[in-house]
Every structure is written in C-alpha cells, then in structure tokens.
Structure 1
C-alpha cells in the first residue's frame, strides 16, 4: 500500500472481544446486547484484512487474580473469541485499565501515527465501558473516531440510585452509543461503514 493510501486508511481497533465477554461468563446468566455481534465483527474484520488496512487488537487483563478477566488464572475467559482471533501480523495490546490510550507502555497513539492513521474505527465490548473509554481516548488525541454500533455490544447495568433501577443490555447499549455520538465519535452500522469504505 502506498504511503498516500496508507495515510487515508483508518485503523480498526478490536476491543475486548474475548471469550467470556462475548459468550458469557461461566455460571452467569448475564446477557449482552447485539444478537448479530459476532457476524458483524467478522464482516468488518474481513473487510479490513482484505484491504490490508491496519488492525490492532486490544485485550483486557484484570490484575486482580480473583477476577474472571485475569489472564493467568482464567485463560478460558480471556482468550480471543473465534470471531476476532488475531492474525500473526496483527499487534495485540494487553491493557489493565479501560483505555489502551492511557497506558504509556502500549504506545497506542504513537503506533497509529507511525501507521499514518488519522482515523480509527472501533468495534468490540463493552459499549458502556471500554468502547467508550477507547473511543473518547482517541478523540481526545485528535483522531477522527467511528464506532460501529452493531459490531459492539453492552451488558445491562444498575442505576447508581437507591431505587436500584435496572437497565437492559439494549437500553445500556443505546445510551452508550448515544453518548459517544454526542461529540466524541461518529456512530454507524456495519452496512453503512462498508458502503463508505468500499473502495
């Protein structure tokens, strides 16, 4: 790919598409939104690979050894999901907090600039947490950000208030995508994304 074309190619950030987050944790009935998440992820990832555009995988490792997203003690939970297994030539960054941009050791901003990327496209989990963290982190560093809503998913959440209102995964996801669309990112669906980047 020429340097001119490379500068226009957006990097795809594949965030926390790990086994237990996509399929559910063992012994938990918690469900996520976005029924077609895995097929949409596969479609977007295949499109990027076909065009030889940059793909960077970001995975979460909780440093608390008792937490189910600790890579050392719960490898079955934290391994990449089949829909988003990294290829040998795709970097994998392991973060211990929400945003990979915040960890100076990962040098994500530098990596993107070295690739000539001015835009990032974000897919993965969880919409209300790490997707928001990484999309906002990219925006704050001057990147143009696109989040693919139906290639992301969210879990439900509880209200902070004493009444303990519950929000469904769908309600949480809608709120998360709406917050990002309010000045931090452009939020689109898979079909619209591929139509735009079909060159």
Structure 2
C-alpha cells in the first residue's frame, strides 16, 4: 500500500467507538470479550502500519450521572485507543456516531465505502452506529472480538449475561446491516 494520507475508494475506514476510560467503571458489571483490547490494539496497528483511514468516536455525555461526561477521567481515551495527532476525533452526544456529527459527510467526501467498527457497547453505540452505517449504504463490518458489552435484564426481569447480550446484538446486525467477522477473519480477508 502507498504511504500517503490520501484516501481512495476501497480503503476501509476503522471506526473506533467510545473507547474511553468510562467503560472500565465497575458500575457496568461483568463484561465479555476480555481480550477485546488486545484485538483492538492489533487492528489499530494494522490500520496505522498500512496508512489506512481511522476515525475515533468520543462520547461526550450530557447525562449528569454518566461516566462519559466531559472534565472527568472517564471522558479520556483508553490507552489502547489513544488517537495519534493526525487521526480524526469526532464527538457524539447520542448512541449513534452519525447523529448530529459530520461522520457521514466525511466518509462521502473521502469516497469511503467500507467501514469497520470496533469498540463499545456492542448492543448500544456499536449496534446503533452499524445499523445507520448499513442503512446509509456503507459496506459495514463489525468485529465480534474487538467489541464487548455487559449483562442486563430483559423486560420480564430475566437476567442475560454479557455474552448472550453480545451474541444477540451481533445477530441483530448480521446480514441486514453489517457483516460480522473476528479480528483474524478480517485481517485474513485484507491480506
């Protein structure tokens, strides 16, 4: 691949969602995919080494009790996903990275067709962003082992662990909105 910062068609964009210190707060409970950060680091290194486009999404919450509020440690990026100086950061205030942000315009201006999504939370911001990405016509891939979530109760009060929530969320996205791949599958498909 060339080593310029120009973006051409068919250069997949890596979209990192909400990888901030807030996600490590114990209030969330038990999570799945304990190796997600390792996979995130692998993917980020691959994109950087091949000079592929990267955008970091930073959640800036307006909710008073959110760990993602500005001016507190939780708002800072996790070390594994720290943007480099030339990498774009887009702030969002809702679960979808496309709502009230310039994301779609940036992707269209750069002729990006393929969007690879990693980050958190699988069944919240990752799923909301992937659904919109697919609906807007982007070839969207969600990396199953570079995303994670937490357990939660359903409407009847029954508890579902983090892996169940993660798997159902991935199945919600699969096919209609996004392709689901592991880190290994994605990197193999790019070689």
TM over 0.5: yes
Count matched residues.
189
Unpaired stretches in structure 1, ≥5 consecutive residues: none
1:27-106 correspondence runs (5 A): 28=27, 30-72=29-71, 75-103=72-100, 106=101
1:145 — aligned with what? Answer: 140
Q: Deviations over 1:21-44 (max 9, x none)?
A: 1xx215x37121101011000000
- When normalised by structure 1's length, the TM-score is 0.90
Whether the aligned pair in 2 keeps the contact of 1:37 and 1:153 (CA below 8 Å) is: yes
Q: Which of these residues, 181, 187, 190, is aligned with residue 188 of structure 1?
A: 181
1:163-178 correspondence runs (5 A): 164-178=157-171
Superposed displacement of residue 155, structure 1: 1.0
Distance across 2 between alignment mates of 1:148 and 1:109? 20
Whether 2:102 is the aligned partner of 1:107: answer: yes
1:152-167 correspondence runs (5 A): 152-161=147-156, 164-167=157-160
Distance across 2 between alignment mates of 1:95 and 1:145? 19
Superposed displacement of residue 192, structure 1: 0.6
Match of 1:136, SS? helix
4+ long deviations beyond 6 Å: 2-5
Distance across 2 between alignment mates of 1:139 and 1:25? 31
Distance across 2 between alignment mates of 1:57 and 1:76? 17
Superposed displacement of residue 183, structure 1: 1.1
Superposed displacement of residue 20, structure 1: 2.5
Question: For the aligned residues, what is the CA RMSD?
Answer: 1.7
Superposed displacement of residue 110, structure 1: 1.0
Whether the aligned pair in 1 keeps the contact of 2:20 and 2:77 (CA below 8 Å) is: yes
1:9 — aligned with what? Answer: 11
CA 1:107/1:129 → structure 2, altered by over 3 Å: closer, same or farther?
A: same
Distance across 2 between alignment mates of 1:3 and 1:156? 40
Match of 2:49, SS? helix
CA 1:29/1:130 → structure 2, altered by over 3 Å: closer, same or farther?
A: closer
- When normalised by structure 2's length, the TM-score is 0.93
Whether the aligned pair in 2 keeps the contact of 1:37 and 1:152 (CA below 8 Å) is: yes
